[in-house]
Chain A
Amino acid sequence: MASQLMQVYKLIQKEFKLEFRKRVSLASVLLFLVSSTYICYKVFININGLAWISLFWIILLFASINLIQRTFNQNYVRRKWIYYTFYEPTLVYVSKFLYNLFFLLIIATLLLFLMNMFFENFIRLPRLFMSGLLLGTIGITGVMTFVSSIVMHAENNGVLMSILAMPLTLPVILLAVKVHAVSFSLIQDTAVASDLWLLGGIDLLIFGLGIMLFPNMWKA
C-alpha cells in the first residue's frame, strides 16, 4: 500500500513537472475562465440566483472539458511505453484523477471568486454550497477523466470529448445544481442531506467504474 501511494505521489509529481514546463495550456484554461465570466457579466450585468447557478456550472463544465481533455493527450501517447513498463494502470488512473481534481478545485474556487466579484453574492448556506461544489467537482472530474481515457483512442477526439462527456455529467450536475439552489434559499428542501449522499454515491460509483474499466483499455 505504502509503495503504491509512493508511486501515485511520484506520478503526480511528474505531472506537475510536465505541466509547469509548458505553462501555456493551464494559462489558456484560466484565460477562458476570466473571459467567459467577463462576457457573462457584460451581457447580463444583473442576474438572479438561478441564473448565477446555471452560469457557474456551465462555465465550470466547459472549463473542465478544456482542462481534462489534455489528460491523455499526445504527450501521454508518446510516453505511454514508459507508463506501461513502470506503473500499474490503476495507479496511473488514480494519479491522473487526483491531479485533475486538484486543478479543477482551483478553477472552481477561482470561478467562485470571479462570480462573486462580478455579480452579487447569493450564498446563504456556505457549508452546504461548498459541499455541493466539492462533490459536484469530484463527479465531473471522474466522468471527464474516464471519457478522456476513452477518446485517447479515437480520431477527432476534441469533438468526441464533448459529445460523450456532456450527457454523462448530467446526473452529477443536476444534483449539484439542486443542492446549490437550496444553499441559495431559492427552494426549500429538508431532505437535502439525502441529495448530498446520493451525489457522493454517484461520485464513488463513477470513480470506482473508472478504476475498474481503465486497465481494460489503456493498452488498446
Chain B
Amino acid sequence: MKYWWWKILAIAIFSYVLLAGMLTPLKSGIYSVDKTKGVLGAPLTLQVETYNTYMSSALQNVAFLKLSDNKVIRSTSIIEKNDFTAQINFDLPASLSTGKSSERATLIINNEVDGSMILPNAILLKEEGNIAKQTSSQWTTFDVASLFPNKGFRFPYRNKLHETIRNTFFHIAIWFAMFILLIIALVYSIRYLSSKDLAYDYRAAAFTNVSIFFGIIGLASGAVWAKFTWGAFWTADVKLNMAAISVLIYAAYWMLRSSIRDVDAKARVAAAYNIFAFVVMIPLIFIIPRLTDSLHPGNGGNPALGGEDLDNTLRMIFYPSIIALTLIGLWMANLTYRLQIIHDKTLEE
C-alpha cells in the first residue's frame, strides 16, 4: 500500500474522467436554422432544430434576434412541434438600429427548462427598398437579467464540435501527459550523463517509449476529431504536422537504441540524443505553430484553451484527466523498466 497507492489513485481518477466525461449531458443548443437571411420590414418565420431541449414541456419559450449594439427584437410567437423543433415568428423592424443597411444577427432562444441557447451570426438582416413596410415593431435594449438561467452541471454546446467536445479530456490531456513524461525522460537522461548509472538510462528509455505510444494515441484521437470537425482525417494544419514530426524524432530514438550493441555506448549516445531531441522539439511544437495560421486553438490568433472552448465544467474533468493519464504513463513506464531488467537478467544467466 505504501508504494502502490498512486496506482489506485490513477484508476480512480481515470474512472471518474470516463464516467463524468461521458455521462454529463451537453447544454441545450441550436442545431440548425432553415433560413440565413431576413428582409427588414417584413415578417420572418424560422424553422429551428435544437439539441438537448424540452421545448414542448417549457411554458415560457421566447426568442430574440440580437444585433452588435445590444438591441434586440423579440419573437411574436413560438410554435413548438416537439421537444427539438419549433417554428419562430418575428416581425422585423423597417431598419436596423445600428444604422447599417445589413448586419448578421445572433439568434437567442430562452425558456425556463433549458435556459438560453445562442447561435451567433445566424441570420443576415438586410434592407430591400421595393418591399412595402408591413410591420411596426421597434428595437428594444436587451436585458440579460430577464433570461432564465441555465440549470445543472452541463458541458458547453459548441456548433461544429457538438458531442465531440468530450475529446478534450482525452486528445488534449494525452498530449499534456506525453509532454510531462518526456520531461521526466529528459531528467533521467541528464542524471544518467552525470552519474553513468545504467538504471537511469533504462528509466529514460522506458519513459520515452511510453511517450511515443501516447503520441501515437494523441495523433489518432486527433485524426478522428479532425474528421468530425474539419472534414478530413489529416490536414495541412501546422500543429498537427509538427506533432507528427516530433513523434518521428522520438521514433528515431527507438531506432538508434536498437542499432547500438554495446550497452554503455548505447546509454551515452541515447541520453545525448534524447536531450538534443527534446530541445529541438520545443521550437517545433511551441514556437513555429504560433507564427503561422492553424486550425488548432491557440495558433494564428485563436484563443488558447479559454473562452467557451474550456469553461469551468470542462476544467473539472480536464485537469484530473491530465493527472490520471500522467500517472498511468508512470505506471506503464515502470512496468516497461522492470520488464527490461528481467530481460537483462535472463540474458545474463
Contacts and interface: CB of A to CB of B under 8 A. Distances in A.
A75 interface: no
Interface stretch (A4-12, A38-46, A124-132, A150-158): A150-158
B280 A171 contact: yes
B8 interface: no
Interface stretch (A17-25, A26-34, A162-170): A162-170
A216 B259 contact: no
B193 A216 contact: yes
Contact of A171 (B259, B265, B268, B284): B284
Given A164-B252, A175-B288, A209 B276 contact: yes
Interface stretch (A57-65, A76-84, A100-108, A198-206): A198-206
B236 interface: no
B255 A150 contact: no
B308 interface: no
Contacts of B260: 153-155
Contacts of A178: 291
B283 A150 contact: no
Interface of B is mostly: helix
Contact of A213 (B245, B264, B265, B276): B276
A213 B275 contact: yes
B277 A168 contact: yes
Contact of A170 (B245, B252, B269): B245
B165 to A, nearest CB: 31
B259 A217 contact: no
Contacts of B277: 168
Contact of B273 (A156, A164, A202, A206): A164
B288 A160 contact: no
A160 B259 contact: yes
Given A168-B276, A195-B291, A220-B264, A163 B255 contact: yes
A64 to B, nearest CB: 16
Nearest to B258: A154
A51 interface: no
A174 B193 CA distance: 31
Interface of B: 193, 245-246, 248-249, 252, 255-256, 259-262, 264-266, 268-269, 271-273, 275-277, 279-280, 283-284, 287-288, 291
Interface of A: 143, 146, 150-151, 153-156, 160, 163-164, 167-168, 170-171, 174-175, 178, 195, 198, 202, 205-206, 209-210, 213-214, 216-217, 220
28 contacts: A143-B280, A146-B276, A150-B256, A150-B269, A150-B272, A153-B265, A153-B269, A154-B269, A156-B259, A160-B255, A160-B259, A163-B255, A164-B255, A164-B273, A171-B283, A174-B288, A175-B288, A178-B291, A205-B279, A209-B275, A209-B276, A210-B276, A213-B275, A213-B276, A217-B268, A217-B269, A220-B265, A220-B268
